[in-house]
Amino acid sequence: MKIVSIGSGTGGNPSLSRAAVTLQSEGIDVELFSYTSEDVDGDERSFQQMLNHVKEADLILLILHGGIPYFKKFPRLREYFEQTGSPVFIHSEILEESLELRPYFGLSDEEYKLIDMFIQLGGETNSRGLILQACKHIAGMDVETIEPVRPRIEGLYHPKHPDILDLEDHLARMDPELKRMQVKCTYAINRIPK
């Protein structure tokens, strides 16, 4: 299973990369090639390398944070979508763009909504779920799939300690010299399918 992931304004997708490496270590035949529009827009050699991977991909993921105008080489890339015959999943923060580009995916609405949910919910577990779904339903591999996992919508969260839910437990695991809040983050997730 060969997947090409392209992010525009997203800073890449490290969760997807980690999930792919983990699945490879478990013996699942998956290759992930990741690019950002910022890299390929500024370097024709990188763009051509990406196109070569796109031509051979079983699945192409394109995540547009600011929309198509911020991906200068998108019109050239779009020409290849029509030639590949592989599903091209395009998620844009601009809903109208996602709807306009939906036909490039070519699979059922159910599969589209599932992939969209994995992407929007994010994280390594959902990235793993996305890859496993693609392996099973696109490449026909005999793998166990998982359902999307919704992150908690409130409370304390640390990516290295996902099981710690309250402040007391968090403070107990910290070094006594460092018991102070250093960062507060608020996550906003929009357009999550029901």
Show me where the domains of the chain are located. Answer: 2-137
Alpha helices in the chain (DSSP H): 14-25, 37-41, 44-56, 74-84, 95-101, 109-121, 123-137, 167-173
Report the pLDDT value the prediction gives residue 162, as an integer from 0 to 100: 65
Cα–Cα dist 20/41, whole Å: 25
pLDDT tens track for 113-135: 999 999 988 889 999 999 999 99
* Type of residue numbered 103: P
Give the residues across from 59 on adjacent strands.
3
150 pLDDT tier (thresholds 50, 70, 90): confident
Cα–Cα dist 67/183, whole Å: 29
pLDDT tens track for 57-109: 999 999 998 889 999 999 999 999 888 889 999 999 898 999 999 999 999 99
Which range is least confidently modeled, 39-48, 96-105, 184-193?
Answer: 184-193
pTM of the predicted model over 0.85: no
Cβ of 28: how many Cβ atoms within 10 Å? 16
> Coil, strand, or helix at residue 32?
strand
Q: Which CATH class is domain 2-137?
A: alpha beta
